[in-house]
Structure 1
Amino acid sequence: MKKITLLLLLVLTQIVFAQTKLTENQKLAATCKVWGYLKYYHPQVASGKTDWDNQLFDVLPKVEKANTKDEFSLVLENWINSLGEVKAIAAITVPKDVEYFDKNFDLSWLNNDKLFATTLSKKLKFIEDNRFQGEQHYVGFDSRDNSFVKNTNFDKLDYSDRNSRILALFTYWNVIEYFFPYKYRMDQKWDKTLEEMLPVFIEAKNDDAFYTAFQKLTVKLNDSHAVFHKYSTGNANFLPFNCKIIDEKMVVTEITADELAKADDIKVGDVITKFNDKTIKDFVAENRNLINGSNEAAYLSNLMKFGVYGYSDNVKLDFLKDGKTITKTINWYDYNNAHKNEFKKGIQKEKFKMLENNIGYVDMGALKINDVPEMIEKLKSAKAIVFDIRNYPNGTYIDIANFLNSKERNFIMFTRPDSLYPGKFIWHGPRPCGSENKNNYKGKVVVLVNEESVSHSEETAMCFQAADNCTIIGSQTAGADGNVSNFEAIKAVFTRFSGIGVYYPDGRETQRIGIVPDIEVKPTILGIQQGKDEVLDRALQFIESGKETKLKTTLNIKNETFLK
C-alpha cells in the first residue's frame, strides 16, 4: 500500500511540474511584453538612463534557465529591482479636454497568473500607476503630425546572432503594440502574431531568412502603408510594362518602355495567364504572406508593384491571344530602362482641361498648389468637374475645398498616440475644410477613386465628400489613411506603418475599408483592350443623366473582416 501511495505521489508531482513548466515560446513572448512595457513605462528606462538593448541581452540567458512560473517571475522581479526605485507619485488625472480612444489599449496581461507570480503582477501594476511622465527617450513625435519616430540604431548588430534577431522582433513588436493606431483592425491578434513569429525569427539564421521573417511580420499589420524594403546588394529587374489583376489574370495596362515592349510584341490589353509556369491564382495565393495590403484591392495592386520583379535575366509568361496560349520568355530590365517612358523629357501630364459638353477634368496627381487658381478660373463655369484621384495628390485639397463649399464643414478626425500613457490614443479634431463662400461652385462634383487612391488621396476624397454636391465613383481605395511613421533602425531594412488614426467626424472608419464609392465601377479586360477608361466613362454618364440621386452600390469585398 505504501508503495502504491508513493507511486501516486510521484505521478502527481510530475503532473504538477509538467503543468507549471514554461515553454521557451511562452517565456520569450512574456519577456517581450515586459521588456517593451518597461521601455515606455518605467521612469529609469523611459528616460534613457539605461542601455535597454543591452539589458535584454543580459536577461535572456537567465530567462532561458528559468523553468517554472516562480523561477521566471523571480528573474523578471530581480531585473526590475535592479533598475532602481519607482517612486509613488500623485494620481495621474486625465485633462478635461482629453478624450481617449481605447480600442488598442490592453494591459490585462500584467495579471496573467499562468506566467507571472502575484508579486510580479503587483510590481508591474505599480509601475503603470506611477509611470514615466516626462519626455520619452525611445519615442519621438514629429512636430507636424505626432507620428512615431524610432531613434535607436541597430546598424552594428549581427543578425546571424540569435539574440540580435530576438531584439529586432521585440523592438518592432512593441512599437506596433503601443504606437500603431489600427492594431485592433488586424486580422489576427498581435499577441498571437508574436507567438507565431518568435520561432521564425529564431530559426532565421542568415540575412535572407531574417529579412523574409521581417517581411512576413510587417504584412501581419494588414496596413497598405506598412511597406517593407530590403536594401539589397543586388539590383532587381523589371518588366517594361505595368499590369493589373482582373478575373485571376494579369492584364497589361500600361507600356513603360515603348521599344522594349515592342521588341517582345507586348501591347496594352494583353492577357497573361501564367507567371513562371504558375497560374495567376497560384501566384496571388503564394505571395499573401509577403506583400502588404489593407484589403484585397490594395494587396493585388501592391503585388503588381512589389511582386513582379526578379534577379534573373528573364521571366516566362503565358499569354492568351485569340483563344490560344502563347508562351514567351521576356527579358527583365533595370528600373531606368524598364521605365524609359517616365524619363522622357518634354512629356507632361495635362493638369486640367475642359471635356466635351462643358465638363471639367482635373488630374489631381499632376495638379500643384500654384496651379489651383488657374484651374478654378478655367473650370468655374463648367456644369460639372471631375476630380481624378486615382493617383497621389499634391496637397491641393484645402484650396479646392474653399472653391467647392458654400460654408465650412468638418470632414475628418484623428487619433494620435499619447506618449504619457503608451498604448492609449487621443482624439483630435474634427478638422474642417471649406469656408463661407456664396460664390462657391454650384455644378456637380465627381471624384474618381480606385486601389491607387491611398493615404493623402483618401483624405482628399473625404474632404471633397463634404462639398455641396459630390459623388464618388470608382472602386475600393487602399484603406490606409493618415500620416506614416517610418522605422529605419534595423540594418538594411526600411519599413513604415500608418502613424495616426483617421475617421469621419461621426466616427466611421476608413482603415481597411477605404473610401466607399457611391457608384462602383471596375475596369474590365475588354474595356482595357478597347482603350476605354470605364470609370471616367461612367462618371460622364452620371453627369449627363441629370439624376441627382446617387446610385448607392455595395462593395464586393470578399473578406468580411474588413467591415467588422
Structure 2
Amino acid sequence: MKNVIVVLLFLLSINCTSQTEKKFNLDFEEYSVNDKLPRGWFKWGNYDLEIDTVHVKQGKASGKISSKNAHNSFGSIVYSIPANYEGKSIRLDGFMKIENIQNGFSGLLLRIVDKNNEVLAFENMQSQNIHGTKDWQKYSISLPYPKNAETIFVAGIMTGSGEAWFDDFVLTIDGKDIQTLKEIEKPIYKANLDKEFDLGSKVDFPELNNRLIGNLDLLGKVWGFLKYHHPEIRKGNYNWDYELFRFLPEYLESKTTEERDDILLEWIKQIGDIDKCFKCESVTEGAFIKPDMSWFDNFNLSLKLKNELKYIYQNRGQGESFYVGYNNYNRLVFLNENRYIMMPYPDKGYRLLALYRYWNMIHYFFPYKYLIDKNWNDILREYIPKIINAKNELEYELTFIQLMGDINDTHVSYSFGFNKVNDKKGEFFPSFQVKFIDNKLVVVDHYNPELKNAAKVESGDIITSINKKSVESILDSIKPYYPASNEVARLRDISQDILRSPKNEITIEFISGDKKEEHSIPLYKKDSLNINWHNWKGKSFKFLKNNIGYVTLEFIKKEDIPIIKETFKNTKGIIIDIRNYPSAFVPFLLGTYFVTDNTPFVKFSVGNINNPGEFIFENGDEIPKPTETYKGKLVVLVNEFSQSQSEYTAMAFRAGNNTTIIGSTTAGADGNVITILLPGGLRTRMSGIGVYYPDGTETQRVGIVPDIEISPTIKGIKEGRDELLEKAIEIINK
C-alpha cells in the first residue's frame, strides 16, 4: 500500500510539473466560467467566438468561430507569443472541425510581424479551400522563421458562413516545441532608447527660398549617405531620425555656403571616428549598376567636406546594419523604420524626414532607378516645398503618392495608411465591372445579376461621363495618383476606382447600342458585392472540346500538379491562364513539364549591402530536367492583370519547347517587393530585385511581351466571348 501511494505521489508530481512548465495556452484548456474565450486568446474580425466544452478533440475545451451570414468578412481566434526565439523554420499543428462552411474557408493561421507590426511571414490555408462539413482532422502549416521577428500570432480562421472548432495547437521552431524552448535575450540598441522627439520634431522652418531649398536638398543626401555608410550609424548607436531633428535648427540658420559646410563637417565629426576599411572595394568587378555619388559635385561643396564624404565612402561599414539587412531568402529588407502611426498628419520636420527616407531608399536600393523617367537627383529639390507646405493630411498623402508614382513601378501601393485618400475615393462601388478597351471605359460584366436592372447598363456599353465630367478629363486629373510601370497597369487600377464614390449614387452618361443615355445609378459597399463573381468554384483544371486541357493558376494548388500532368498528358494542347495572380508558386513544379533539359529562364540584379547603390547580376533560376516532357502545344494567356509572380511564371513557361504566349502587355513589375514605412503611418512598396531574361532583356515596365498580341474587343464583350481563350484554342487546333 505504501508503495502505491509513493507511485501516485510521483505521478502527481510529474503532472503538476508539466502543467507549470506549459507557458502558452495553446491547447485551449485554461479558462474560467466567466471567460468568453480561453485564457490568452483574443478576437480578430467580427464573427462570434466562444469556448466550447462539448465539441472537443481532447481535454475539456476548444475554441469556436461561427457566423450565420455569408459576407466578405472573417473571424479569427488568436494567440500572441513574443518572438524571443531563434531558428530557421516555424510550424503550427492543430486540429480543426468544421460544419456547413459556405462561401468561404477555414484553416490554421500563422502571422509573424516585426516591431512595427509589419508582416514578415503569413499563411492561413486559404489556398486549400477547406469548406463544407468535416470531422476533427489534424492540419499543419509551415513558414521560414523570419529574422527580426517580434511577435508570433497563431490562430484559427473562418470566412463565409458556418461553424469551425479548433483544438490542441502545437507550435514548433526547428522541430522543437515552443513550450520547451529557452527564450533568447535580444540586443539593446542605443537608437531604440532615444525618445526625445516621440511627440514631435520641434523644428521651426523659416519661409522657403531657393537657397534654403538647395541646402535642404544637400542635407537630405548627406543624411541618407551617412545612414547607409557610416559604421556608427549602421551599428544602431544613433536614432538617425531624431539626429536629423537635433541638427536641423542650427543648419537652417546657416547664412553662407562656407558656414553650411562647416556645420555639416562638425556634425559628421561628432558621430565618431571611422577605422580604416581594408576590404571596401569601390565597385565590384562587372557591376551592372554603380553607386551614384555624382551629387558630391553639385553643391559647390568645400574640398574639406567633399574629402570627408569620400573618406567615409572608402571606409564604410560592412555587412548588415541597423537600418538594412537580409530576410530568410537573402533579399534586402529595410529594418527599424518607424512609421510614427500616431501622427497621421506629421509636423514639418517629420514630413521632411519622410521625404529624405524615401528618396534615399530609392537612390541606394531600387534596382530600376536607371529606368525612372525623371532624374532622381532632382527629385528632392522638386518635392521639398511640396512636402513642407502640405496644408493637411490629405495633401501630404497625395503629394507622397505623386512622388511614389515618379519611380514608375507597379509594385508601388498605398493601401495602408493613406486614410484620407481612401476616404476621398469613398466606400461605395458599382455593381458591375468596367475596363478600358480602345481608350473607352466599357462595362465588362455584372458582379451581382440581381442588381443588373438597377445598374441600367449592359455589357459592352461605353461610359462617357461621370457626374457631368467626361471620362477623358477625369483621367487627366487622376493619372498622377496611380503609380504604375506602364500605361496599361495604370488604366487597370483606375478602372477599379473611377466609379467609386463617397456617396451611394452617381450619375453616368453612356452609349448603349446607338443610343446615348443618362441615369443615376446606386453604389454599394464592397463587402455587399460579389466582387469575385468570376471565380470558378470547381477544380483549377478542366477539359475543353477537342481534347484540350485548361488550367487557371488563380486557384491552383501544388497537389493539383501531378494530377494535371497525368490527366492532360495525351491532350493535343494545354492552355494555362495567368490573367490573375497564382494561388501557388508553380514555375518549377509545372514548368518542368514543358522542357526537355535543365533550362535557364531568368537572371536577377541584386543590391550590394556592402556598397549601397551597387547592383550586380547573379545567376538566375532554371527549370530542372524533367522525368517526362509534355508533347503537345502550350498556350499561355496574359494581360494587364498578370503582375509580379504571374510575370515570373510566364517567363518560366516561355522557356518551354512549344510555348506560345498570347494576350496583351502585362503590368511590368516582376520579382519580389520591399516594404517601405514612412512617417504619418504610411506604408508602400517597391520592386526589390531586378528581373531579366538570361540574355539581359528587361521585364520592368516592358512586361511580358506576348508572341501574339490580342485584346478583348467591345464587340466580343457584348457577345459574352473570351476572345483570348478562343484564340488559344485556334492555335492548338491548327
Given residue 426 of structure 1, which amino acid in structure 2 is its aligned partner? I
Closer, same or farther: CA 543–224 of 1 in aligned 2, 3 Å: same
Answer yes or no: is 1:267 the counterpart of 2:454.
no
Cα 1:107–1:308, aligned 2, differ >3 Å: closer, same or farther?
farther
* Equivalent in the alignment of 1:337: 528
Paired residue for 1:495? 684
Equivalent residue, structure 2, for 1:461: 650
Identical counterparts, % of pairs: 38
The structure, 1 or 2, with the larger RCO (C-alpha pairs under 8 Å, 6+ apart) is 1
Counterpart of 2:390 in structure 1 is 204
Shift of 1:257: 2.4
Kindly provide the CA deviation profile for residues 345-398 of structure 1, in whole angstroms up to 9, marking residues without a partner as x.
xx6154111111111111111211111111111111111111111111121221
Answer whether contact 2:283 2:611 (CA < 8 A) is retained.
no
State whether residues 592 and 625 of structure 2, in contact with CA within 8 Å, keep that contact through their aligned partners in structure 1: yes
Ranges in structure 2 where 5+ consecutive residues have no aligned partner: 1-208
Matched residue, 2:504: 313
State whether structure 2 residue 315 is matched by structure 1 residue 130: yes
Taking a change above 3 Å as real, the CA distance of residues 343 and 476 of structure 1, as seen in their structure-2 partners, is closer
Structure 1, residues 444-494: CA drift from partner, whole Å, max 9, x if none? 111111111000000000000111111111110000001011123433322
Q: Distance in 2 between matches of 1:361 and 1:414?
A: 31
What amino acid sits opposite 1:101 in the alignment? F
Letter paired with 2:289: D
Instruction: State which of 435, 441, 449 in structure 2 corresponds to 1:244.
Output: 435
Partner of 2:555: helix, strand, or coil? coil
2:599 aligned with 1:409? yes
Tell me what 2:245 maps to.
57
Kindly report which structure 2 residues correspond to 1:146-225, keeping only aligned pairs within 5 A, or say none: 146-153=331-338, 154-157=340-343, 159-225=345-411
SS at match of 2:267: helix
| Stretch of structure 1 that moved more, 130-139 or 299-308 | 299-308
Instruction: Write the distance in 2 (CA, Å) between the matches of 1:118 and 1:504.
Output: 44
How far did 1:191 drift? 1.8
Give deviations 1:399-438, integer Å, cap 9, x for gaps.
Answer: 111211111100011122111111112322121013143x
- The one-letter code matched in structure 2 to 1:181 is P
TM-superposed deviation, 1:167: 0.6
- Could you say if the C-alpha distance between residues 258 and 492 of structure 1 is closer, same or farther in structure 2, counting changes exceeding 3 Å? farther
Q: Which residue of 2 aligns with 1:107?
A: 293
Which residue of 449, 468, 471 corresponds with 1:258?
449
Per the alignment, residue 116 of structure 1 pairs with 301
257, 268, 288: which is aligned to 1:69?
257
CA distance in 1, matches of 2:269, 2:476: 49
| Distance change in 2, residues 1:349/1:211 (3 Å) | farther
Partner-residue secondary structure (3-state), 1:430: coil
Counterpart CA distance in 1 for 2:538 and 2:643 is 20
Q: Which residue of 2 is the match for residue 84 of structure 1?
A: 272
Q: CA RMSD in A?
A: 2.1
Any idea what SS the aligned residue of 1:427 has? strand
Q: Secondary structure at 2:434's aligned position in 1?
A: strand
- 1:414 counterpart letter in structure 2: F
In structure 2, the partner of 1:558 is none
Cα distance in structure 2, aligned partners of 1:309 and 1:254 = 16
1:258–1:341 Cα contact (<8 Å) kept: no
Corresponding position: 1:42 with 2:227: no
Conserved in 2, the CA contact under 8 Å of 1:157 and 1:164?
no
Does 2:657 correspond to 1:471? Answer: no
Match of 2:693 among 484, 504, 526: 504
Structure 1 residues 436, 341: CA separation in 2 closer, same or farther (over 3 Å shift)? Answer: closer
Q: What letter matches 2:459 in structure 1? A: V
Q: Alignment partner for residue 424 of structure 1, among 594, 598, 614? A: 614
SS in 2 for 1:269: coil
Q: 325, 337, 349: which is aligned to 1:140?
A: 325
Q: Retained in 2: the 8 A contact 1:248–1:280?
A: no
Contact 1:159-1:210 at 8 Å conserved across structures: yes
How many Å separate the matches in 2 of 1:320 and 1:227? 33
Do structure 1's residue 378 and structure 2's residue 567 form an aligned pair?
yes
Q: In structure 1, the residue corresponding to 2:262 is in which secondary structure?
A: helix
TM-score normalised according to structure 2 size: 0.68
Cα offset for 1:543?
2.0
Deviation at 1:442, TM superposition (A): 1.1
The residue identity in structure 2 corresponding to 1:435 is K
Comparing 263-272 with 472-481, greater Cα deviation is found at: 263-272
Q: Structure 2 CA distance, aligned partners of 1:370 and 1:436?
A: 17
Q: 1:435 aligns with which of 625, 643, 658?
A: 625
**Aligned-partner Cα distance in 1 for 2:501–2:730:** 42
CA distance in 2, matches of 1:296, 1:173: 24
- Work out whether residues 140 and 151 of structure 1, in 8 Å CA contact, stay in contact via their aligned partners in 2: no
* 1:294-309 alignment runs, 5 A limit: 294-309=485-500
For structure 1, which segment, 324-333 or 305-314, has the greater mean C-alpha deviation from structure 2 after superposition? Answer: 305-314
CA–CA distance in structure 1, aligned partners of residues 283 and 250 of structure 2: 42
CA deviation profile, 1:194-213 (whole Å, cap 9, x unmatched)? 22111110111311111111
Bigger Cα displacement from structure 2, 67-76 vs 304-313: 304-313
Question: 1:290-336, CA deviations, whole angstroms, 9 ceiling, x for partnerless residues?
Answer: 00111111111011134442212222211101322211222221111
Q: Mean alpha-carbon deviation: is it higher for 498-507 or for 331-340? A: 331-340
Residue number in structure 2 paired with 1:5: none
Shift in alpha-carbon separation, 1:277–1:198, aligned structure 2, 3 A? same
CA distance in 2, matches of 1:139, 1:307: 38
2:518 & 2:370 partners in 1: Cα distance?
A: 45
Match of residue 556 from structure 1:
none
Aligned partners of 1:297 and 1:478 also within 8 Å: yes
The C-alpha deviation readout for 1:172-206, integer Å capped at 9, x for no partner, is 11111111111111111112222211111011131
Q: 2: CA distance between counterparts of 1:151 and 1:383?
A: 54
SS in 2 for 1:228: coil
Contact kept, 8 Å, 2:457 with 2:512, in 1: the verdict is no
From 672, 676, 694, the equivalent of 1:483 is: 672
Deviation at 1:111, TM superposition (A): 3.0
Aligned to 1:298, the other structure's residue is in SS state helix
Number of aligned residues: 519
Q: Which amino acid aligns with 1:100?
A: A
SS at match of 1:459: helix
Q: Report if aligned partners of 1:147, 1:483 keep a CA contact under 8 Å in 2.
A: no
TM-aligned CA deviation for residue 49 of structure 1: 0.5
Relative to structure 1, the CA distance from residue 405 to residue 222 in structure 2 (aligned partners, 3 Å threshold; closer, same or farther) is same
Contact 2:444/2:717 (8 A) holds in 1: yes
C-alpha distance in structure 2 between counterparts of 1:160 and 1:488, whole Å: 14
Partner of 2:524: helix, strand, or coil? coil
Identify unmatched segments of 5+ residues in structure 1.
Answer: 1-20, 546-564
Distance of aligned partners of 1:486 and 1:130 in 2 relative to their CA distance in 1, 3 Å threshold: same
For the residues of structure 1 that align with 2:575 and 2:212, how far apart are their CA atoms? 58
In 1, Cα distance between equivalents of 2:645 and 2:660: 18
Q: Quick one: distance in 2 between partners of 1:325 and 1:179?
A: 51
Farther off after superposition, 457-466 or 392-401: 392-401
Specify whether residues 163 and 526 from structure 1 end up closer, same or farther in structure 2 by C-alpha distance, changes over 3 A only.
Answer: same
Are the counterparts in 2 of residues 22 and 69 from structure 1 also a CA contact under 8 Å? no
Q: How far is 1:125 from its partner?
A: 0.3
1:275–1:315: 8 Å Cα contact kept in structure 2?
Answer: yes
Compared with structure 1, are the counterparts of its residues 94 and 125 closer, same or farther at alpha carbon in structure 2 (3 Å cutoff)?
Answer: closer
Matched, 1:278 2:466: no
